[in-house]
Amino acid sequence: MGATHLPATEFDGSAVDDQLEAEAEAALGEPAAQMVQLLGPDGRLGEDTVFSEYANRLDAAKLRGFYADMAAIRRFDQEATALQRQGQLALWVPLTGQEAAQIGSGRASQPQDYIFPTYREHGVALTRNVDLAELLRQFRGVSNGGWNPKDTNFHLYTLVLAAQTPHAVGYAMGIQRDQRLAEAAAAAGETAGQEPEPKAAVVVYFGDGASSEGDVHESMVFASSYNAPVVFFCQNNHWAISVPTAVQTRIPLSNRAKGYGFPGIRVDGNDVIAVHAVTEWALEHARQGNGPVLIEAFTYRVGAHTTADDPTKYRESSEEAMWRAKDPLERLEKYLRAEGLADDEFFAEVKADGDELAAYVRKTTYDLETPDIRSAFANTYVEAHPLVAEELAWFEEYSAGFAGEAEDEAGNR
């Protein structure tokens, strides 16, 4: 086969290819991937040529709301950890240190947007009005989920690393097609007099460790190829259990987006104002039909990966101390106080609200009842299935064999 008979490539390095690269480069900047930061650890607000415009939209009430959200979810995290230590939960996944990344991005989403979390996005759940007590059902082992995603557009937690990323892209492609059908119907005059549905996008969360999974690569290929309205939100908390980010990548994770032909942005994940601004920009970009965006929130997992983990075995306490000095709550408190946007009364009220939330979560957890195991058979298929019925009958017969032992044991007490 001669050279003239070889199949042509989709792009030949001409206008289309150059345009995609230019768009990614414009948002990415230099290969070193400068990090977007607006609110520094000292509590001072800086400037950014692109994202200060979004930060300026925030009024005092929203900024106080950010702090209240971060404080509430940290208090919830402490309570859930205590519940696990007391045997009330089988496992818990702490988020302390990542509050700004989650509250900032979650508050930037709109109700019509759909969120795909991993298993640590408790803060995002708060912003989507998920009852936090419902989060504990799965960790207590009494439910496969805990809430109805249709009520909040916040999907169930995904315990398998990166498994949610292809689901998110598929959902985004579905949104894209629904919007095209709606536009066609409007052009044909079929929806005259009706308010158009607001445009939506998808946000999918994953960690720096999950970024090494093939699912993430495949998802980004599909998202780029089909210009899907999806924002990939990577919380780079520096540790994939005991594996440091340096083993996951030799370049900033945000730089990977350029290889797929869409923008990648690295943001200070402990700066709630910058995270909100960057995510708001990314979601607008996606909703307007401009395709996907990758956000790398540069943050830190202060505590353990889960309550089954001991981080002292693989990292220095000095590293943890360095990141505690960048605490997202402390820097926002400094700013609110310096600008006269909040006083002692506000912070005392936030603390009281957090304690009230913790008490509610504790009581609700104690009140959770273990479901009858027969419900597992009933929920296997939508309709009755003969094989499941056969297995249930076997289980009933097997369980009946212990009835006499239970009666004898009770009589001997």
Q: What are the CA-CA distances from residue 88 to residues 119, 146, 158, 247 (Å)? A: 18, 16, 21, 35
115 and 64 Cβ atoms separated by less than 8 Å: no
Look-up: residue for tokens 């990166």?
Answer: 162
Quick one: CA dihedral 352, 353, 358, 361, positive or negative? Answer: positive
Contact of 93 with 136, CB cutoff 8 Å: no
pLDDT tens digits for range 283-296: 999 999 999 999 99
Residue 328's nearest CA partner among 24, 20, 39, 58 is 39
pLDDT of 21:
47
Task: Report which secondary-structure segment, H or E, holds 397.
Answer: helix 386-400
**Model confidence pLDDT, tens digit, residues 323-337:** 999 999 999 999 999
Question: Per-block average pLDDT, block size 10, for the chain (413 residues)?
Answer: 38 47 49 82 96 97 98 98 97 98 98 98 98 94 91 96 98 96 91 90 98 97 98 97 92 95 97 98 98 98 96 95 97 98 98 98 93 85 93 91 66 60
Q: What is the pTM of this model?
A: 0.88
Is there a contact between 272 and 332 (Cβ–Cβ < 8 Å)?
yes
Q: What is the pLDDT of residue 65?
A: 98
Question: Tell me, what's the pLDDT at 272?
Answer: 98
Burial class (CB in 10 A: 0-12, 13-18, 19+), 2: exposed
Eight-state DSSP code of residue 381: S
Task: Give the pLDDT score at 370.
Answer: 85
| pLDDT on residue 24 | 47
Predicted pLDDT of residue 30: 45
Q: Are strands 114-116 and 202-207 parallel, antiparallel or unpaired?
A: parallel
According to the model, what pLDDT value does residue 412 have?
61
| pLDDT reported for residue 4 | 40
Q: Is 28 exposed, middle or buried (0-12, 13-18, 19+ CB in 10 A)?
A: buried
| Rounded distance between C-alpha atoms, residue 90 and residue 307, angstroms | 9
**pLDDT at position 9, please?**
35
Question: Residue 308 has which token pair?
Answer: 């089954």
Which residues have C-beta within 8 Å of that of residue 32, sequence separation ≥ 6?
252
Other CB atoms within 10 A of residue 51 CB: 21
Of 125, 79, 131, 135, which Cα lies nearest the Cα of 102?
A: 125
